[in-house]
Chains A and B, each alone.
Chain A
Amino acid sequence: MNIMRRFESPAAAPSGELPAPVRISRRSFLQGVGSGVGGFALGVYFAPALAAADKAIPGHAGNPDAIPTAKNMPEPQAFVRIGADNGVTVIAKHLEMGQGTFTGLATLTADELDADWAQVRVEAAPADVKRYANTLMGIQGTGGSTAMANAHRQMRLAGATARAMLVAAAAERWKVPADEVQVSAGIVSHPGSGHSAGFGELAEAAAQQPVPATVTLKRPEQFTLIGKQKLPRKDSADKTDGSAMFTQDVQLPGMLVAVVAHPPRFGATLKRVDASKARAIKGVVDVVEFEGGPGRFGGVAVLSTNTWIARQGRDALQLEWDDAKASRLDSDAMWRQYAELAGKPGTVARNDGDATAALEKAAKVVEADYAFPYLAHAPMEPLNCVVKLADGGCEIWNGEQLHTGDQGAIAATLGLKPDQVTIHQLYAGGSFGRRANSQSDYVLEALSIARAAQAKGHKVPIKMVWTREEDTRGGYYRPAFLHRIRAGVDADGKLVAWHHRMVGQSIMKGTPFEQYAIKDGIDSSSVEGAAYPYPIANLYMDLHSPDTGVPVLWWRSVGHTHTGFATEAMIDELAAASGQDPYTFRRAMLGEHPRHRAVLDKAAEAAGWRKPLARGGKGEKRGRGIAVVESFNSYVAQVVEVTAGADGALRVDRVVCAVDCGLAINPDVIRAQMEGGIGYALAAALHSEITLKDGVVEQSNFHNYTMLRIDEMPKVEVHIVASDANPTGVGEPGVPPLAPALAGAIFAATGKRIRKLPIGKQLKA
């Protein structure tokens, strides 16, 4: 069946594929592939460094200078292939998890190639850090909203190089000057002689051409696909007829499904399992214990060819756990501890001027605590991974977000070289950060189960699947955070002092990323974006990073999920305290930040900020709020409009969003990511919260870890602010401004300040 064919070894490349191997020494993109836990090193990760890297990239706008390929694109066939059938295959080094990367990478390549969009298809790249490193990370991986930022020049160069080789082949065949040969929508032609050919006819000859020494990228006015308002996504067809392949859908000969049981408390270990009832279920093939390791917890897996039977078996297991090393965290106690820490100095993250003295002199001072719960990523596809062990190798099928890390970790576990581990990339049914785990938690768990199964004679592929319950309770949450801010304005209403203390777990501590992300005791992902970008002469910021034993991880927009709220909410409170308009107050402080100001202006203008909001129905109060947050070098402002009912019911009516993400490669994908980011953020703002009682996560499935549903989705209007800056990401930046703008709208409507998320029933109290 077709599913199987998808996983057979690729047939030998049909003749005529472009290009044949080129005899150019390959440059390694990677600096310092190390021998760390995951077998990788991280080059550049954080936003300031990313911005610096951006500057080094020749203008997206098409640098008129010729770009040398030997250094920048020695191997175009690693990124684009042309078949005899005219098909253009773009090789995507990044995971498609919904954010539109496949479409984006294909757009960049196809535009420079002057391909016919209808003939462009996308294939996922294998794990190969030498060819496919994220140029901003130094490893192959997808995250930090960097796909377009790191790959835009690379993919364009690939397209331009392949185009030049097609042109050279045509010129040679037709005996005409190359500079007279034209390419448009997949057709190569020479108007003077009347020759023309499809890409396929020229592919084989083009493959024999040398890679040109230099290529020149297009100028913006030459773009045919980049920036086009409606370019169909490359993954729409297979995601609407059931044929899209996710890890959950992999079926291999002899494969067994493994449904797992984890300890109910983080850090607990298996004491005893009685599997007799599980084994008695018809169809249960075996029950295996698997080991934990750094960042993951051992447990028991039930094997069957049928997922439900394995699930029945898992539920029939009688398990006893040893809680000696388990976290017994209780959320209420944690908040008490965090509040206590917020009263004590932490590790200083920033100290400009003298915030304490300035606060004493300030005309108005506002003090507030803002609290943010643990959040599960809850992608629609629960975590899973397929492992096939073989002598001297291992194959993985996964929605792979951190190729180099997972490949290295598997290789290290098995005593193999990384290139002996093959990763078959599949679509991820959402991730929001969860599938990129610096300790390779779920991938190594699947490996551990496959090895345990093999040891019992099951030398077959193993598909590990987590139930929704395991996924919800499995940890790696957005860390809970408490922010305590005291800030003041002078008699003229000017922000003069800001004292900001943060309490929350470090995401990077204890991971291979620690050495890059933690400097002088400050995890940059804990504080990124705090108090930014407002000019504050007296700014003090410190941080407590307690460890609770609950595993934490980046969650769509990482630190900005809480720093963006705390900062923007306090700005709102200061505006109110000094009798200023929230928009005007912000705007006046953004003189040095024109991109922030432009999106803020655009959102305010489009929302009609200066005009009164239409009245609500009887007993209803309406309000509007505004926020602006830069994250991952993209700038997003949102205006939220709400209606509050007399009974405390809240309706979010409309969100007007303005975004500047540099060159807008796929405007419709940008709009989609803003819409989706707003919905994702709204779910968290309204409903989502992971709590623990005596170490046990209290939520388990969508009935108590509540998702946003269609009736709660507001109208969304997205405005893309034109920019000639290098492109940046859109997967995450739509998230941070929503909750603070919503809180501002609620205040405007009801006079009630939201200082704790989720909003839940706070308006009903």
Chain B
Amino acid sequence: MIKFTINGTEHAHAGDPSMPLLWFVRDEAGLTGTKYGCGMAQCGACTVHLDGQAIRSCVTPVSAAAGKAVTTIEHIADDKVGAAVQAAWRERDVVQCGYCQSGQIMSAVALLKSNPSPSDADIDAAMGGNVCRCATYVRIRDAIHAAARAAA
């Protein structure tokens, strides 16, 4: 039995420990804000935080979450930086289709927590793993800078 929390709620997994965390989050815990895009850590749509670190949940086994805290998009606004990023995203109307945006926001929050004032190059490095097929990148960049200012 693997025990961990998702958004502060305790969960236990008795099945295959190699199941990617993504599928526990979506299909067992019913938190569908975290998305499947590629299944091989190529697109970042599945990004969640594991003890505050941004991870690709589609390739992270549930076993890696044992004893740890998972945070998903559904609770990102509980955090000051998370709320600032979400507000910046809304203020700039970053989204188009929206499917990748949970992952984008999770990556952006993790970036700002480790680097409160990122340069464009820092943003490229931290966000390079998150694909947006609608190419909302111009606004993602602006929103991250804006959130950095707001959270400062």
Contact = CB atoms under 8 A, between A and B. Distances in A.
Contacts of B100: 380, 429
Contacts of A251: 30, 32
B52 interface: no
A186 to B, nearest CB: 21
How many of chain B's residues touch chain A, expressed as a range? Answer: 35 or more
B31 interface: yes
A233 interface: yes
B133 A707 contact: yes
Contacts of B22: 308
B138 A239 contact: no
B95 A678 contact: no
Interface of A: 1, 3, 97-100, 232-233, 235-246, 248-249, 251, 257, 282-283, 305-309, 311, 378-382, 427-432, 465, 467-468, 668-669, 672, 675-680, 682-683, 701-703, 707-711, 713, 715-716
B76 to A, nearest CB: 8
B135 A307 contact: no
Given A702-B38, A716-B138, A379 B98 contact: no
B27 A305 contact: yes
Among A244, A311, A380, max chain B CB count under 10 A is at A380
Contacts of B23: 306-309
B137 A306 contact: no
A266 to B, nearest CB: 23
A429 B131 contact: no
A467 B97 contact: no
A8 to B, nearest CB: 16
A188 B31 CA distance: 42
Interface string B20-54: 10110011101111111111101101000000000
Among A98, A245, A465, max chain B CB count under 10 A is at A98
A127 B101 CA distance: 28
Contact of A233 (B40, B93, B99): B93
Contact of B97 (A240, A283, A380, A669): A380
Contacts of B140: 710
B61 to A, nearest CB: 11
A710 B134 contact: no
Contacts of A429: 35, 97-100
Interface string B76-103: 1100000000100110011111111110
26 contacts: A3-B32, A100-B96, A232-B93, A236-B94, A240-B95, A241-B73, A242-B34, A242-B74, A246-B35, A248-B36, A283-B15, A306-B23, A307-B26, A380-B99, A380-B133, A381-B99, A382-B37, A429-B99, A668-B93, A675-B136, A676-B136, A678-B135, A679-B136, A708-B137, A709-B128, A710-B124
Contacts of B136: 672, 675-676, 679
Contacts of A710: 123-124, 127-128, 130, 132, 137, 140-141
B37 A380 contact: yes
B136 to A, nearest CB: 6
A432 B30 CA distance: 28
A676 B136 CA distance: 6
Interface of B: 15-16, 19-20, 22-23, 26-28, 30-40, 42-43, 45, 72-74, 76-77, 86, 89-90, 93-102, 105, 123-124, 127-128, 130-141
Contact of A468 (B34, B37, B105, B123): B37
Main secondary structure on chain A at its contact with chain B? loop
A683 B15 CA distance: 40
Nearest to A666: B93
Nearest to B76: A241
Nearest to A377: B133
Given A251-B32, A429-B98, 7 more contacts: A240-B90, A283-B15, A308-B19, A379-B133, A468-B38, A672-B136, A678-B135
A243 B33 contact: yes
A380 B132 contact: yes
Among B45, B74, B98, max chain A CB count under 10 A is at B98
A5 to B, nearest CB: 13
Contacts of A3: 30, 32
Given A242-B102, A709-B131, A701 B96 contact: no
A683 B131 CA distance: 11
B32 A249 contact: yes
A345 to B, nearest CB: 40
B98 A235 contact: yes
Nearest first, the 6 A-B pairs at minimum CB distance are: A242-B33, A679-B135, A429-B99, A239-B98, A98-B97, A98-B96
Contact of B98 (A427, A431, A675): A427
Contacts of B124: 710-711
B63 to A, nearest CB: 14
A672 B93 contact: yes
A191 to B, nearest CB: 35
B58 to A, nearest CB: 9
B16 A282 contact: yes
